[in-house]
A and B are shown apart, each in its own frame.
Chain A
Amino acid sequence: MNVESSGQFHRAARGVLRWTMTYTRGMDARIAAGRQDEIASDLHEHAVWAGETGIGPRRLAWSIRLRALRGVPADLVWRSTVLRQADPGVRLALRADAALLAVVAMIGVVDVGLGGFVLFRLVRALVIGDVRSIPGPAVGAIVLSLIALLALMAIAGERQRGWAALALAVPTGLILAETGRALYLLSASAVVLVNRLPWWEPATYAIGAALALVCVTAAIHWLRLPTRERVGRPVTVHHEGEPRA
């Protein structure tokens, strides 16, 4: 079997190229294209060499992935070096974009964590016989966390990031209150806490609304402009050789 046309090689190569696209994001188009072309050439040459030396598709794919993985720290250092030489405005825009992404991702992780906790408490309560039927708020919290999980996964892709952040706003706005109601039915500690804090429900709605607003703001930011325009002028390094077609 020809290793170059094997599915295993193509999957590994696609993964490496996707990673290359990720760490060259926001850079000058010439620098980014230069690195992407060079990696594409490397992958092709690697496959041709593997075919000539009798290396199978599985071992080739493994070797390609390992080379990419071992090179991740160097890729990140290279990216940081290129960006350091960039315009301060571009650097600031890229940092702000990354910070916004980190905040939204963190909100998503919290949403998923809350749903996971409710699921754990529900299973435990059912096993030890604390509840005989599944309480509605528990189902609500788990469903909301599943929506958050899907949105969180979609946020990883740049193209759908804006819509994903918008979708994340829905569970984020509701899950805190729903989790509180679910735990009230599943946990003795939650009952004590809720009885001591009569304002807990408005507070959870307020916090949920604030976090949902962050998601909506991020969504508007990501939907309004594509990455290149978001980060302003492209990063330029004069010494970098450009691809000559």
Chain B
Amino acid sequence: MPRRRPGVLLPLELAILDAGSTMQASEESFFGFGLARALADRDGSALLAHGTLYKALNRMSEAGLLEAEWEAAETAEAAGRPRRRLYRVTGAGEAALRASVRPATTPSPVTRPVIA
């Protein structure tokens, strides 16, 4: 299996950064299942597998693209649910997302249709 080049983001990581940024804009942070739901709604696909989702979130946190923090126990208790691990897209994550989106949105002269 080929090794991934450092600094290159996988499509899933880009999707997480994109969906996470959107969720973060309205709710300050996002959590695992909320993100899985947002990705499934966006792509019309099935919910992400537990292993795939949390492995990616863990890897992105280690890479500094996301920051993670456990929700306060009192908040979770008051809501009557287990604590959520809350994620936020960091500045580095936003920059990585912008950098990966830019080349795709800029039309390349090679791919531009030629009008005779």
Q: Which of B55, B69, B70, B84 contacts A75 (CB 8 A)?
A: B55
Write the nearest CB–CB distance from B75 to chain A, whole angstroms. 12
User: How many residues from B make CB contacts under 8 Å with A?
Assistant: 29
Interface assignment of B98: CB less than 8 Å from any CB of chain A: no
Complex contact A37–B83 (CB within 8 A): yes
CA distance A75 to B32 in the complex (A): 15
Contact with B along A57-94 (1 / 0, CB 8 A): 00000010011111111111110000000000000000
Complex contact B61–A67 (CB within 8 A): no
Q: Which of A35, A46, A72 contacts B33 (CB 8 A)?
A: A46
Q: Mostly helix, strand, loop or mixed at chain A's interface?
A: helix
Say yes or no: A70-B85 contact (C-beta < 8 A), given A42-B33, A46-B33, A49-B33.
no
Interface assignment of A229: CB less than 8 Å from any CB of chain B: no
Interface assignment of A157: CB less than 8 Å from any CB of chain B: no
Write the nearest CB–CB distance from B11 to chain A, whole angstroms. 15
User: How many residues from A make CB contacts under 8 Å with B?
Assistant: 35
Complex contact B61–A39 (CB within 8 A): no
Complex contact A38–B48 (CB within 8 A): no
Complex contact A74–B55 (CB within 8 A): yes
Residues of chain B lying within 8 A (CB to CB) of residue A74: 49, 51-52, 55
11 A-B interface contacts by CB (under 8 A): A34-B85, A41-B85, A44-B82, A66-B46, A71-B49, A71-B50, A74-B52, A76-B51, A78-B55, A78-B58, A244-B70
- Since A38-B54, A63-B47, A70-B52 are in contact, a sample of 6 more A-B pairs with Cβ atoms closer than 8 Å, ordered by chain A residue number, is A34-B85, A37-B70, A42-B33, A68-B50, A73-B51, A76-B51
